[in-house]
Structure 1
Amino acid sequence: MKRLTMVLGLLVPVLSFAQQQPQKNQNWHLLSKDTDKVYGTNVIKAYNELLKGKTPVKVVVAVLDGGIDTLHEDLSANLWRNAKELPGDKDVDGNGYKGDTQGWNFIGGPTGQVTKESTEYQRVYFKYKDQFANVTDEKQVKKKDLQNYKWWILSKSLLKKSDTIAPVDYRGQEVKDDYTNIKDRFYGNANLMGDPYFHGTHVGGIIGAVRNNGKGMDGIADAVKLMGVRVVPNGDEHDKDVALGIRYAVDNGAQIINMSFGKRISPDRKMVEDAIRYAEKKGVLLVNAAGNEGMDIDIYPHYPTPFFIKGGKKAPNMITVGASGATEAGLIASFSNYGKQTVDVFAPGVGVYATMPENKYSPLSGTSMATPVVAGIAALIKSYYPTLTAKQIKHIIEQTVTKIDIPVTKPKSGGQKVAMTELCKTGGIVNAYNALLMADNMSKKN
């Protein structure tokens, strides 16, 4: 799988489309099929025809990622501020996180922060190697260790020749927490600009870069506050950080959480699942990337998964997103994961132009880019129709997709053509215009 500096596994090198399109199409993901001949999201059409004269309310969107450039010219005005906190080494608001004026970094420590990490399958493999290396049958494993054994077997299958040396525990050197203990919550620091923060900066811009300021590009939502929550290093995130990141965002007022990350192994899956349930209880919508391996994640799960461990029920407050391209020739991104049960919608994720650190801008590709497109539309709906719940917004986004009735190319299939409904539950690409029309009708019934 191709990566850009290996971050998240949810980002791929910029594809030829982004390099070949004329300047006017840098914002193709906001355009319309009927007027612009690209499979965008109709965001510009929605602003021009549906939202003029209407006053939105601010919506807080948490960006669980690798950090955000808090000084960026196109982002700083739209960053969330904790009005009850002050910068520095005091916990003024009493929430347990000192100086969290713009968010929190769960992979930081007293003197610095984690930038490089190993993959989860490496960590699991080497953790249990001595315990399970000589096991020849699952029946030899005690019941309490069975799930760990299954994770270890999967980890072993994912191991590469370059992984023969046990990975250095970068986290243990810096963060100083017990990453197996969910009750050990108060660690990290307030610095959101630890490498690789270019990824979160790009994601944040897609959701909510300042609109109509003549700089760089326009975010999708015009009344948004972006909360930075740093949980993803250059490598695989830890489940505990993700779980606490979700809880931190919920407790501090986030209404939507963008999660452009993921991995094949989740040894502490229950921590994350409990946090997803907590977000559901508090009415918070989670928008989750499908991943970039070109795989069927109905068969090969990509974590966090929307399906719960017991019973297989799907989280009603979570949308999982695949990546689409601009034209029929490349409508399904060749790298995108898919799944007719797991993936809910597709959204533009090829050559999406957005903010980069140090007041720069660039197109990037990945389900990491498609996910904030959906989070941005969710924030747009919530800001103009604030009485709608997370579950209602999820329903609206899924019911109003642009249905794709032509055969599309299944990723990593050698060119096999399939129905779009074979790749995602709704069989379509998100459509902000249609979503806002439905939101307007639904809000009148609330």
Structure 2
Amino acid sequence: MISNTSNAFRPGEVIVRLKGDSASLASEGGFAAKYGATVADTFEFGTQGLLDKGQMMQLKLPAGLTTEQAIAKMKQDPSVAYAEPNFIYTLPKNEQAEAKQPAGAPAQQDGPAQFVPNDLTEDLWGMHNTGQNGGKADADIDAPEAWAIHTGRNDAPIIAVIDTGVDYNHADLKSNMWVNTGEIPGDGIDNDGNGVIDDVHGYNAFADNGDPMDGHGHGTHCAGTIAGVGDNGEGVVGVNHRANVMAVKIFSDEGSTDSAAILRAIEYTTKMGATITSNSWGGGGASEAQKEAFAASSALHIMAAGNNGWNNDFFPNYPSNYDIPNNIAVAATDRNDKKASFSQYGVKNVDIAAPGVDILSAKPGGGYQMMSGTSMATPHVAGVAGLVASMYPQATAAEIKEKILNGADKIEGLKTKVADGNRLNAHGALTWQ
């Protein structure tokens, strides 16, 4: 989970969007010139969710003009829809990782209509909880029941993991990675003309290049929950045994990012046709630019509710609190169907809960590790969203969201924590009509 509790920003930079009738001014560079600034980047998100077609830009300000001064001036400019800082975000310290090889006993079938793959072990309580290790039986997402119906497809709609990148060479992920067939790997040419060279498995939005390799671990862990290769006798199994996962790296291996990188990431996933995005990050103040970018995408965006334990109805968390139709905000539960102690919550602003404590998944370099957080709950939901999209490839974001929320288990102890007491149920999502 990324945070920006101090609302820090990059000095000397501004994110600005012009009004629709001012787009030509932006394309000619005239707007930046008015402020003595230079255009560092531009962003295009289509028109869905946008009120007009003004251009969004990242500006580098001239010496002597601060970010605060520039924003104050731009707010008085009739050609400006909004201007805001280029916010900085960092990974917090409260999602500690513990290296661990899958060592639990093989999971046992406990119902007639289940498929139990050979890499589903007792460690993966969130998928299948029979009461092991002090848990509560069935405090899980009913994954084996869902897998009896559908396990995913490699040609399924794209699931984009917007995070620290993904180890696309990991044995438990490699065959489930998205491949950009428009690129010739390693030729140093932007073959498909999308503005990124050699983006074979995704995009590094932080460095603005085609290599989204994970040097941190957070994103690979999320990807393993979404799509660890299933029934391969190795490691862990994801919600999708087979999938089409796009790696989108939004921050450095040291754990920092900014609004501009996030906007580039959303722009890329929109351009390249992602159906689902998984966003295990957030915190800090609202960004109008990020909200607009998410809203403009046709994808369904799964978003972590946060790890500070507070009520998001009173203390908003972004991006999960954005009031847009195509997102789902996710809290975390433990193996007893209780809200995790760290998880943020809110019956108005958190849509669903999912397993997020002691979650075993992949780590870069071929290993595995245990992590806890709403960051771990989010990919359970993103994985189910991907499974629904795989089974119903024509489903819209609204229809996938409807299936997930209506197919959820209604847990009495969560009814004061998340909307309707929803706890994720993969079987319910696949079967809800």
Same fold (TM over 0.5): yes
Distance 1:56 1:76, change over 3 A: closer
C-alpha offsets along residues 303-324 of structure 1, whole Å, 9 cap, x if unaligned? 21442xxxxxx21110010000
Once the two structures are superposed, what CA deviation does each residue of 1:128-157 show, in whole Å capped at 9, x if it has no partner?
Answer: xxxxxxxxxxxxxxxxxxxxxxxxxxxxxx
Alignment of 1:364-375 (within 5 A): 364-375=371-382
- Paired residue for 1:8, among 91, 106, 109? 91
> Secondary structure of 1:25's partner?
coil
More strand by share: 2
Instruction: Give yes or no for the alignment of 1:277 onto 2:295.
Output: yes
2:394 to 378, 387, 390: 387
Q: Which structure exhibits the higher relative contact order, with contacts defined as CA atoms closer than 8 Å and separated by 6 or more residues?
A: 1
Amino acid at match of 1:47: W
CA distance in 2 between counterparts of 1:39 and 1:236 reads: 35
- Deviation string for 1:273-309 (max 9, x for gaps)? 1211211xxx3110001111111122222121442xx
Structure 2 counterpart of 1:95, one-letter code: N
Asked if structure 2 preserves the Cα contact closer than 8 Å seen for 1:292 and 1:366, the reply is: yes
- 1:332 aligned residue: 339
For the aligned residues, what is the CA RMSD?
2.8
Match of 1:30 in 2: 127
Offset at residue 55 of structure 1 (A) = 7.6
Deviation at 1:8, TM superposition (A): 2.6
Aligned partners of 2:294 and 2:234: how far apart in 1? 36
Counterpart contact for 1:306–1:318, Cα < 8 Å: no
**Match in the other structure for 1:433:** 427
Q: Is the 8 A contact 2:153 2:242 kept in 1?
A: no
Question: C-alpha displacement at 1:92, in angstroms?
Answer: 1.2
Match of 2:204 in 1: 105
**Structure 2 match to 1:77:** 175
Q: Which moved more, 1:19-28 or 1:247-256?
A: 19-28
Query: CA separation of 1:358/1:57 partners in 2, compared to 1, >3 Å: closer, same or farther?
Result: closer
C-alpha contact (below 8 Å) 1:28/1:38 kept by paired residues: no
Out of 253-262 and 293-302, give the one that drifted further: 293-302
What is the rounded CA distance, in whole Å, between the counterparts of 1:31 and 1:219 in structure 2? 12
Distance (whole Å) between structure 2 residues aligned to residue 77 and residue 377 of structure 1: 19
The answer to whether the Cα contact below 8 Å between 2:278 and 2:379 also exists between their aligned partners in 1 is yes
Letter in 1 for 2:318: Y
Q: Distance in 1 between matches of 2:214 and 2:328?
A: 28
Q: In the TM superposition, what is the alpha-carbon distance from 1:195 to its structure 2 partner?
A: 2.8
- Structure 2 partner of 1:232: 251
Query: 1:10–1:260: 8 Å Cα contact kept in structure 2?
Result: no
Deviation at 1:21, TM superposition (A): 7.7
Kindly report which structure 2 residues correspond to 1:333-412, keeping only aligned pairs within 5 A, or say none: 333-406=340-413
SS of the residue corresponding to residue 99 of structure 1 reads coil
Distance 1:32 1:433 in 2: 14
Amino acid corresponding to residue 251 of structure 1 in structure 2: K
Number of equivalenced pairs: 327
Q: Distance in 2 between matches of 1:227 and 1:286?
A: 14
Determine the C-alpha separation between the residues in 2 that align with 1:214 and 1:19. Answer: 11
The answer for the alignment partner of 2:61 in structure 1 is: none
Aligned pair in 2 of structure 1 residues 72, 66: CA closer, same or farther (>3 Å)?
Answer: same
Distance in 1 (CA, whole Å) between partners of 2:348 and 2:300 is 19
Deviations 1:228-284 (A, max 9, x none): 111133445312221221120121121100001112134xx12111211211xxx31
User: Contact 2:320/2:327 (CA < 8 Å) preserved in 1?
Assistant: no
Superposition pairs of residues 99-248 of structure 1, within 5 angstroms? 99-108=198-207, 188-196=208-216, 198-233=217-252, 234-248=254-268
Distance (whole Å) between structure 2 residues aligned to residue 285 and residue 193 of structure 1: 24
Native 8 Å contact 1:260 1:288 kept in 2: yes
- CA shift for structure 1 position 211: 0.6
Equivalent of 2:415 in 400, 418, 421: 421
- Is 1:302 the counterpart of 2:317 in the alignment? yes
1:42 equivalent to 2:142? Answer yes
Cα gap change, 1:80 to 1:372, in 2 (>3 Å): same
Equivalent AA in structure 2 for residue 94 of structure 1: G
- Equivalent in the alignment of 2:54: none
Contact persistence 2:206–2:257 (CA under 8 A): no
Instruction: Report the secondary structure of 1:64's partner residue.
Output: strand
CA contact (8 A) 1:14 1:351 kept: no
Which of the numbers 286, 289, 300 marks the counterpart of 2:301?
Answer: 286
**What is the TM-score of this pair, normalised by structure 2?**
0.70
Instruction: Tell whether 2:156 aligns with 1:58.
Output: yes
SS in 2 for 1:422: coil
Shift of the 66–389 alpha-carbon distance from structure 1 to 2, 3 Å rule, reads same
Which consecutive unaligned segments of at least 5 residues does structure 2 have?
4-88, 107-120
Separation in structure 1 between the aligned mates of residue 166 and residue 154 of structure 2, nearest angstrom: 24
Structure 1's 377 and 101: CA in aligned 2 closer, same or farther, altered over 3 A?
Answer: same
Q: Are 1:32 and 1:45, in contact at CA under 8 Å, matched by a contact in 2? A: no
1:314-350 CA-to-partner distances (Å, cap 9, x unmatched) read 211100100001115xx11111111111110000000
Q: Hey, what's the Cα distance between the residues in 2 that align with 1:431 and 1:42? A: 6
- Percentage of pairs with the same residue: 32
| Contact 2:176/2:229 (8 A) holds in 1 | yes
Segments of 5+ residues of structure 1 without an aligned counterpart are 109-187, 308-313, 407-419, 442-446
Offset at residue 66 of structure 1 (A)? 0.7
**Amino acid of the structure 2 residue aligned with 1:284:** A
Task: Report if aligned partners of 2:154, 2:244 keep a CA contact under 8 Å in 1.
Answer: no
In 2 relative to 1, CA 89–20 (structure 1 residues): closer, same or farther, beyond 3 Å?
closer
Change (3 A) 1:8 1:358: same
